[in-house]
């Protein structure tokens, strides 16, 4: 199905992936979207319509900071960087996510057997 | 960054986001091109992938600001765009509202200035005015000079207690002569108490308040010094002539200080120097200043740090009792008030309240008028925007959303209009209050500037008017059903048409009432000028004598004694003397009582010094007895009373030969009544008061019952015969009427300016309504003309359609006016509030204006070209 990889993410998933991706270093919006796509073997496609509002929300929450810089093609872009608060948030998110995932996995295994 | 920055710093934040998104798309295009796609395909692909750019921007924005706030900003931007597209509409609404609000702002600033503002000095909140509560013997609630000094010397609650007594007259310095300057006789600490600094010279020294030998020293205002006396620093030490007496200038106050009254004061002199005035005897004044029963002036105190006004009152009561017991008087009760005029002059305020309410009422009517007018404009505009609104409704905008959009437009307009109204208000006040004073020296301009309270008030009024005017039209213009729009629109139009007619009629009715008020006041003024006040005011000239500067008291006294004697002899049968002009309201106030009555029962009366022939010269009928004998120094005084005074003291019988008393112990004086004269007004044309006339002892005006130049020349040569350096000036006594009706003239001016605004607003309103209805009926008129209607027929059809608004407006206005104008009765000098001339004149004026306003659109209708109109549809 062509729309398979565009399926809706669960709430907070996009934020978590953005935070995780930015942990490796600052990125601008387009590069961020590309990085997520590649890291997920193109299984996750970030919709721009969600990405930018999410970035703004995260700026407001103080998890990210933004500065204008240059892209690899020397184009003026806004570069996002993880803040200390963002790092903490990521840790919280990941542990919550792992608990959720292990829970789901158990349920899935139980019903299989 | 905050929501605020998103709204206010709109451009940068929004712009950054847009640039970021565009960079994203550009990067994608480059990627796609690198993958081998053509530039054009890559562009399309990248755009498609990105999706709805505007929506992304919108949702990104919502991360920062609540959706409602964002849509308010949107509404505002939309409103600004709409206004810039149709600037005529916006300008009309703003203009009309500003015209409605401006006068209200003027009046409010004025009331604020004369009622609510504290004294314009440093730290006014720690200043309190000290007054004893008025009693039967002390009706004005003032302190005697001795009592003041006792309190000043013993009070601990007050750091300072100061006293002032205002007066005014002519001053001169070198070649500059000023005729009407206000000054203040003050205690030596007065200016220091007000924290006034000196920019040149020094403040008064304590020893300059010397009651044993008055010192002729003066302090002048910055403005007097700079604008009238040339601003030379050498003025300190120079001689300033006050009423012809030389005073040494010792200081110049800091700029922008004009004392604390509404009259600006420009000269300050020590209290005892009143004794140096040429019109009084020095020892009499000094005696008065040392008499505990003679109360006068105003006492103000500055509280010592940390003291409360309750402590001050308690202390004053103790000190006052001590003092009054020492002079054999009853214990006083003191009242302290703040320096805000409203708390200071409560009685005066109550008296003026009806006038204020009347003015406020008139201005609220104008606001109403402006509101109706704007409502009509918004309604018409709502109709012409029906198409736009229908489209927005059909693509899913909620009705509330559109109503809110229309209200936002109104809000924006009202803020601009409120600001404009405030500007008009500030200007208006300068014109009416400051400009209305014939002498710029008298007005205190700083008093009349709108402050924060007034500004908030004006904006609130604008908001209220605008929203009130906008709600109904907004609701109406969104009441469109989507299906069958044409038919419903026609029905909506008929309804809107009725609403427009009613709004227009209401405007005309309100204008009618306001114009009638103005018309009646004008008629009343004309009536007053020619009316008979009960004496021969139109046949008398008043001649005033000016003696040379520096003339000694003795020389002045001798001159007037000589003049009195000459005028009392047979040579000048039609001339009399009077200390004050007849309708000036001035005179001395004395507490008089009957011989058999106790001390406390005295009544405060106006006492006037006139010569024996005063009554015959002015044609005031002598009802009983005879006029008094000329003044004899130290002898028994004879007096003449008017009917009101006779009734007051002797309601049961004839006053002739009876006695009146004033003072007690060594100040006791008695007067014998020799005659009763008819009541004549002494201030305004209608105000009759009890008056006691006593023989002239000093000087004043010469009144001659002869309008000719020759009569003046005769008096002039008589005056110069006695004092060669004296000069005389003559004026008709009837000028007094103009002065007595000064308030009425100002009221008339006020009423007409309000009336003119009303007329303008309703004319503009009528014009707007009919222009719009012609526009609306263009097609119908085109059809009629195609079917053979002649232009004159069309003209009359349009004018005829005005008949309802005109009939209802003028008829309703007349009815309202009949109910309302009796309120004006006390300002009409006896003219009937139903004066037919005023009614007819105003009805004619309004009908003409309204017809003229329909005529122009009607003519435009009559020139419609049916071919063009029909093709256009």
CB contact under 8 A, B1 and A60: yes
Mean pLDDT (chain B) is 81
- The residue ranking higher by pLDDT, B347 or B425, is B425
**Does the beta carbon of A78 lie under 8 angstroms from any beta carbon of chain B?**
yes
Q: Return the SS3 of B815.
A: helix
CB contact under 8 A, B63 and A49: no
Give the DSSP letter of residue B446: G
Distance (Å) from the C-alpha of residue B49 to the closest C-alpha of chain A? Answer: 8
Question: b vs e for B343-379, b when ≥16 Cβ sit within 10 Å of the residue's Cβ?
Answer: ebbeeeeeeeeeeeebbeebbebbbbbbbbbbbbbbb
Q: Return the SS3 of B269.
A: strand
Confidence of residue B699 (pLDDT cuts 50, 70, 90): confident
**Does the beta carbon of A109 lie under 8 angstroms from any beta carbon of chain B?**
no
Quick: pLDDT tens for B856-869. Answer: 888 888 887 777 77
Q: Give the 3-state DSSP-derived string for B675-717, with helices as H, strands as E and coil as C.
A: EEECCCCCCCCCCCCCEEEEECCCCCEEEECCCCHHHHHHHHH
Quick: pLDDT tens for B100-115. Answer: 888 888 888 777 777 7
A85/A89 Cα distance (integer angstroms): 6
Confidence of residue B671 (pLDDT cuts 50, 70, 90): confident
**Does the beta carbon of A75 lie under 8 angstroms from any beta carbon of chain B?**
yes
Q: Return the SS3 of A87.
A: helix
CB contact under 8 A, A53 and B59: yes
CB contact under 8 A, B24 and A48: yes
B447/B445 Cα distance (integer angstroms): 5
Q: Which of B24, B61, B62 is the closest to A29 by Cβ? A: B24
Structure tokens at B130: 């000290």
Q: Which residues of A touch B15 (CB under 8 A)?
A: none
**Does the beta carbon of A74 lie under 8 angstroms from any beta carbon of chain B?**
no
Q: Which of B1, B49, B56 is the closest to A53 by Cβ? A: B56
pLDDT score recorded for residue B117: 76
- State the complex-level ipTM: 0.85
pLDDT score recorded for residue B484: 43
Q: Which of A59, A60, A73 is the closest to B27 by Cβ? A: A73
B42/B40 Cα distance (integer angstroms): 5
Beta bridge partners of B691: B606
Q: Which of B1, B21, B26 is the closest to A52 by Cβ? A: B21
- The residue among B469, B426, B370 whose CA lies nearest residue B759 is B370
Q: Which residues of A touch B6 (CB under 8 A)?
A: none
CB contact under 8 A, B63 and A59: yes
**Does the beta carbon of A65 lie under 8 angstroms from any beta carbon of chain B?**
no
Is residue B797 within 8 A of residue B774, CB to CB? The reply is no
Confidence of residue B345 (pLDDT cuts 50, 70, 90): low
Confidence of residue B99 (pLDDT cuts 50, 70, 90): confident
Confidence of residue B636 (pLDDT cuts 50, 70, 90): low
- The residue ranking higher by pLDDT, B295 or B19, is B19
Is residue B621 within 8 A of residue B704, CB to CB? The reply is no
Among B16, B57, B60, pick the best mutation site for testing chain A contact (most A Cβ within 10 A): B60
- The residue among B718, B710, B732 whose CA lies nearest residue B543 is B732
- pLDDT at residue B281 tops 70: no
Q: Which residues of A touch B30 (CB under 8 A)?
A: 73
B592/B171 Cα distance (integer angstroms): 35
- pLDDT at residue B767 tops 80: yes
- The residue ranking higher by pLDDT, B358 or B480, is B358
Query: What φ, ψ does residue B275 adopt, rounded to 5°?
Result: -65, -15
Chain B residues touching chain A at CB-CB below 8 Å:
1, 16-17, 19-21, 23-24, 26-28, 30-31, 49-52, 55-57, 59-64
B415/B467 Cα distance (integer angstroms): 11
CB neighbours of residue B443 within 10 Å: 20
Average pLDDT over every residue of B745-761: 83
B617/B703 Cα distance (integer angstroms): 7
Structure tokens at B165: 């007594």
**Does the beta carbon of A86 lie under 8 angstroms from any beta carbon of chain B?**
no
**Does the beta carbon of A49 lie under 8 angstroms from any beta carbon of chain B?**
yes
Q: Return the SS3 of B638.
A: strand
Quick one: B647 exposed, middle or buried, by C-beta within 10 A (0-12, 13-18, 19+)?
Answer: middle
Distance (Å) from the C-alpha of residue B91 to the closest C-alpha of chain A? Answer: 40
Q: What percent of chain A has pLDDT over 70?
A: 89
Confidence of residue B453 (pLDDT cuts 50, 70, 90): confident
First to last CA, chain A: 28
CB contact under 8 A, B59 and A28: no
B64/B16 Cα distance (integer angstroms): 14
Cα A33 to Cα A40, B772, B848, distances in angstroms: 11, 57, 75
pLDDT score recorded for residue A8: 59
Confidence of residue B447 (pLDDT cuts 50, 70, 90): low
Confidence of residue B394 (pLDDT cuts 50, 70, 90): confident
Q: Which residues of A touch B26 (CB under 8 A)?
A: 75
Cα B691 to Cα A89, B351, B585, B589, distances in angstroms: 93, 22, 11, 10
- In angstroms, how far is CA B103 from the centroid of its own chain? 10
Distance (Å) from the C-alpha of residue B401 to the closest C-alpha of chain A? Answer: 24
B298/B163 Cα distance (integer angstroms): 6
B328/B330 Cα distance (integer angstroms): 7
Distance (Å) from the C-alpha of residue A84 to the closest C-alpha of chain B? Answer: 18
B480/B644 Cα distance (integer angstroms): 73
**Does the beta carbon of A77 lie under 8 angstroms from any beta carbon of chain B?**
yes
Is residue B592 within 8 A of residue B691, CB to CB? The reply is no
- The length of chain A is 113
pLDDT score recorded for residue B788: 83
B593/B640 Cα distance (integer angstroms): 15
Residue labelled with tokens 């009614």: B839
Cα A43 to Cα A34, A36, B28, B444, distances in angstroms: 12, 9, 19, 82
Enclosing H/E stretch for B504? helix B485-530
Mean pLDDT lowest among B35-39, B220-224, B634-638, B823-827? B634-638
Q: State the DSSP string of B345-363.
A: -HHHHHHHHHHHHHHHHHH
Confidence of residue B482 (pLDDT cuts 50, 70, 90): very low
- The residue ranking higher by pLDDT, B494 or B338, is B338
- pLDDT at residue B702 tops 80: yes
CB contact under 8 A, A75 and B59: no
| Sign, CA torsion B77/B82/B84/B90 | negative
Among B24, B46, B70, pick the best mutation site for testing chain A contact (most A Cβ within 10 A): B24
Residue labelled with tokens 């000239």: B541
pLDDT score recorded for residue B851: 86
Q: State the DSSP string of B527-565.
A: HHHHS--SS-GGG-EEEEEEPPTT--HHHHHHHHHHHHH
- pLDDT at residue A88 tops 80: yes
Residue labelled with tokens 């978590």: A16
Beta bridge partners of B201: B251
CB contact under 8 A, A73 and B30: yes
Q: In B215-267, which residue ranges form alpha helices assigned H by DSSP?
A: 222-223
Size of interface A-B (CB pairs under 8 A): 66
Model pTM score: 0.60
Distance (Å) from the C-alpha of residue B25 to the closest C-alpha of chain A? Answer: 8
CB contact under 8 A, A52 and B60: yes
Among A52, A69, A80, pick the best mutation site for testing chain B contact (most B Cβ within 10 A): A52
Q: Hey, which of B299-308, B376-385, B425-434, B585-594 has the most confident mean pLDDT?
A: B299-308
Confidence of residue B83 (pLDDT cuts 50, 70, 90): confident
A24/A13 Cα distance (integer angstroms): 18
Q: Which residues of B touch A76 (CB under 8 A)?
A: 19, 23
B313/B733 Cα distance (integer angstroms): 48
Q: Which residues of A touch B29 (CB under 8 A)?
A: none
Distance (Å) from the C-alpha of residue B50 to the closest C-alpha of chain A? Answer: 6
Quick: pLDDT tens for B812-852. Answer: 999 988 888 888 877 787 788 888 999 999 999 998 988 88
Distance (Å) from the C-alpha of residue B111 to the closest C-alpha of chain A? Answer: 50
B287/B78 Cα distance (integer angstroms): 78
């Amino acid at each position: 199905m062509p729309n398979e990889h565009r399926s809706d993410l669960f709430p907070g998933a996009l934020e978590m992936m953005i935070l995780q991706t930015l942990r490796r270093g600052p990125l601008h919006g387009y590069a961020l979207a590309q990085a997520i796509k590649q890291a997920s073997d193109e299984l996750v496609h970030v919709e721009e319509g969600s990405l930018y509002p999410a970035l703004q929300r995260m700026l407001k929450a103080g998890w990210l900071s933004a500065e204008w810089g240059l892209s690899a093609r020397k184009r003026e872009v806004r570069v996002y960087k993880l803040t200390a608060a963002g790092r903490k948030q990521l840790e919280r998110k990941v542990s919550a996510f792992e608990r959720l995932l292990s829970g789901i996995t158990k349920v899935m295994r139980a019903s299989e057997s | 960054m905050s929501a605020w920055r998103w709204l206010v710093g709109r451009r940068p934040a929004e712009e950054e986001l847009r640039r970021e998104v565009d960079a994203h798309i550009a990067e994608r295009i480059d990627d796609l091109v690198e993958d081998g796609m053509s530039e054009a395909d890559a562009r399309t692909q990248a755009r498609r992938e990105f999706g709805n750019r505007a929506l992304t921007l919108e949702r990104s924005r919502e991360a920062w600001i609540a959706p409602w706030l964002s849509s308010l900003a949107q509404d505002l931007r939309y409103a600004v765009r709409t206004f810039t597209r149709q600037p005529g509409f916006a300008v009309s609404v703003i203009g009309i509202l500003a015209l409605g609000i401006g006068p209200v702002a003027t009046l409010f600033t004025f009331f604020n200035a004369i009622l609510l503002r504290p004294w314009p000095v440093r730290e006014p909140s720690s200043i309190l005015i000290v007054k004893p509560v008025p009693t039967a013997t002390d009706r004005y609630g003032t302190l005697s000079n001795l009592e003041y000094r006792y309190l000043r010397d013993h009070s601990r609650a007050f750091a300072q207690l100061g006293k002032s007594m205002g007066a005014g007259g002519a001053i001169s310095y070198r070649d500059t002569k000023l005729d009407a300057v206000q000054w203040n006789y003050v205690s030596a600490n007065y200016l220091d108490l007000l924290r006034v600094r000196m920019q040149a010279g020094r403040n008064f020294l304590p020893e300059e308040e010397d009651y044993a030998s008055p010192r002729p020293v003066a302090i002048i205002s910055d403005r007097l010094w700079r604008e009238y006396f040339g601003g030379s620093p050498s003025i300190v030490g120079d001689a300033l002539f006050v009423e012809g007496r030389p005073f040494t200038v010792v200081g110049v106050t800091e700029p922008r200080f004009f004392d604390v009254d509404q009259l600006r004061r420009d000269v300050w002199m020590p209290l005892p120097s009143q004794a140096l005035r040429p019109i009084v005897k020095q020892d009499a004044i000094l005696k008065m200043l040392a008499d505990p029963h003679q109360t006068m002036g105003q006492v103000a105190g500055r509280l010592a740090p940390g003291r409360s006004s309750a402590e001050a009152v308690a202390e004053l009561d103790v000190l006052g009792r001590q003092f009054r017991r020492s002079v054999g008087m009853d214990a006083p009760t003191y009242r302290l008030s703040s320096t805000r005029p409203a708390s200071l002059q409560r009685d005066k305020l109550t008296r003026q309240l009806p006038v204020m309410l009347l003015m406020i009422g008139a201005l609220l009517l104008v606001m109403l008028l402006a509101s109706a007018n704007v409502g009509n404009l918004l309604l018409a505009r709502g109709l012409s925007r029906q198409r736009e609104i229908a489209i927005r409704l059909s693509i899913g905008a909620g009705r509330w959303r559109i109503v809110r959009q229309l209200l936002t437009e109104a809000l924006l307009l009202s803020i601009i209009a409120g600001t404009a109204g405030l500007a008009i208000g500030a200007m208006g006040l300068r014109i009416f209050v400051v400009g209305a004073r014939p002498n710029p020296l008298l007005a205190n301009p700083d008093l009349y500037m709108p402050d924060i309270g007034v500004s908030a008030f004006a904006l609130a009024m604008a908001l209220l008017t605008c929203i009130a005017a906008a709600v109904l039209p907004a609701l109406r213009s969104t009441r469109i059903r989507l299906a069958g729009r044409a038919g419903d629109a026609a029905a909506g139009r008929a309804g809107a048409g009725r609403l427009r007619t009613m709004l227009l009629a209401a405007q005309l009715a309100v204008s009618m009432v306001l114009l009638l008020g103005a018309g009646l006041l004008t008629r009343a003024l004309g009536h007053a000028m020619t009316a008979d006040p009960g004496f021969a005011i139109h046949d008398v000239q008043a001649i005033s004598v000016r003696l040379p500067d520096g003339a000694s008291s003795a020389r002045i006294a001798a001159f007037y004694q000589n003049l009195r004697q000459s005028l009392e002899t047979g040579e000048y049968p039609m001339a009399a003397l009077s200390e004050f002009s007849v309708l000036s309201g001035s005179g001395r106030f004395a507490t008089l009582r009957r011989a058999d009555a106790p001390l406390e029962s005295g009544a405060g009366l106006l006492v006037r010094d006139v010569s024996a022939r005063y009554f015959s010269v002015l044609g005031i009928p002598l009802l009983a007895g005879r006029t008094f004998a000329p003044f004899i120094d130290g002898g028994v005084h004879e007096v003449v009373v008017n009917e009101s005074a006779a009734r007051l003291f002797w309601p049961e019988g004839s006053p002739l030969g009876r006695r009146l008393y004033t003072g007690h112990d060594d100040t006791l004086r008695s007067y014998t009544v020799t005659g009763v004269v008819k009541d004549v007004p002494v201030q305004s044309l209608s105000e009759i008061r009890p008056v006691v006339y006593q023989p002239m002892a000093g000087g004043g005006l010469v009144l001659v019952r002869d309008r000719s130049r020759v009569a003046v020349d005769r008096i002039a040569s008589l005056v110069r015969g006695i004092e060669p350096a004296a000069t005389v000036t003559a004026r008709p006594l009837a000028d007094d009427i103009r002065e007595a009706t000064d308030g009425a003239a100002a009221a008339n001016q006020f009423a007409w300016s309000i009336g003119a605004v009303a007329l303008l607003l309703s004319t503009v309103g009528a014009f707007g309504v009919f222009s719009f209805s012609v526009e609306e009926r263009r097609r119908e008129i085109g059809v009629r003309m195609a079917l053979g209607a002649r232009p004159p027929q069309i003209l009359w059809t349009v004018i005829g359609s005005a008949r309802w608004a005109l009939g209802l407006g003028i008829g309703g206005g007349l009815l309202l006016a009949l109910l309302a104008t009796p309120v004006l009765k006390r300002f009409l000098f006896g003219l009937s509030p139903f004066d037919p001339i005023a009614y007819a004149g105003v009805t004619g004026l309004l009908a003409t204006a309204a017809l003229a306003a329909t005529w122009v659109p009607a003519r435009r209708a009559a020139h419609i070209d049916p071919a063009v109109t029909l093709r256009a549809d």
